[in-house]
Amino acid sequence: MTSFSPNWQPPAITPLDSAVAASLRAAIDGKAKPPGSLGRIEELAVQLGLIRHPGEPRGEKAVLLVFASDHGLVAEGVSQYPSAVTVAMVMTYLAGRASANAFANANGIELRVIDIGVAAELPVHPLLRVAKVRMGTANAAREPAMTTAQAAEALAHGTRIAIGEIKAGADIIALGEMGIGNTAASALLAHRLAPASLDDCIGVGAGQDDAGMRRKRAAIEIAAARSAATAPLEVLAEFGGLEIAGMAGAVLGAASQRRPVLVDGFISSVAALLAIRLCPEARGYCVFAHRSAERGHDIVLQALDATPLLDLGLRLGEGTGALLAVPLLRAAARLLTDVASLDDVLAGRI
């Protein structure tokens, strides 16, 4: 069943046809290798084959979408950094000097930065896409982070941007984010949408000390007590953030075009959780890149019955874990398309 609001409706998404999985598994088992010898890469190849069916999976062109936004909740001391760091990091991406740029360049991946709610006007830049809904969210400890109409607008922007990249040739959409305070917003969304204990969803984020964690936990508890929302769109509007909404929309947009979505860490996984709560058919199109060290990520992964590809102790965000996983998707796609069958090898038809 698809969830929707009078303000917004997700794009049509075709559920993966599980009946095709057996034929894909048989094709992989018939390759020139012992059955099962490539482990989880074989499982990934089946998923990619289902996503692109009846076409062949491809992974040549991958695009990382880094959605950026500010959070009013920062006023409560939920982060050790001020909101100005969001702008500073966006400018670092545009200068090509962030970790996400380095990892993207190392793997031949294109990067886009989407200003969906940065609390500043940013200069025109070839890497920047402007889809600003508002100048950051409101303070969710005191009032709703945004209106439902603004939440719907952010979702629509993410959907549109992902579809546009796919129409321009993208085979893989990877998700990234930047927004000081967004682990606090993500904890609130995970708490309501998983659902899970609020305390189990709250982590150190960018590196809070003990005093900072007390402030963060107190602010999040105040925000949670302010609203009893549980419906996905209402939870998003109450607690934010705009970059989470944008990523959720991108999940839905990519799924509507039958393309895989590489989900990064905790915050991106919360966005995927939101997308799947809005439209369950999107689940089959999500590939979870890595297990974040941020507390709460395991809860979200469990809620989605997801096993990530990598476990490297990462908790940076920016899409860095997703970027590291792109080569695995490319390899899995080529397992289906490039590897000879054992029958052809034995018959000398190579």
Three-state secondary structure along the chain?
CCCCECCECCCCCCCCCHHHHHHHHHHHHCECCCCCCCHHHHHHHHHHHHHHCCCCCCCCCEEEEEEEECCHHHHHCCCCCCCHHHHHHHHHHHCCCCHHHHHHHHCCCEEEEEEEECCCCCCCCCCEEECCCCCCCCCCCCCCCCCHHHHHHHHHHHHHHHHHHHHCCCCEEEEEEECCCHHHHHHHHHHHHCCCCHHHHCCCCCCCCHHHHHHHHHHHHHHHHHCCCCCHHHHHHHHCCHHHHHHHHHHHHHHHCCCCEEECCHHHHHHHHHHHHHCHHHHHHEEECECCCCCCHHHHHHHCCCCCCECCCCCCCCCHHHHHHHHHHHHHHHHHHHCCEHHHHHCCCC
Q: List C-alpha distances in Å: 260 to 52, 156, 338.
A: 9, 19, 19
Distance, in Å, from the CA atom of 52 to the CA atom of 58, rounded to the nearest integer, reads 8
Residues with a catalytic annotation lie at 318
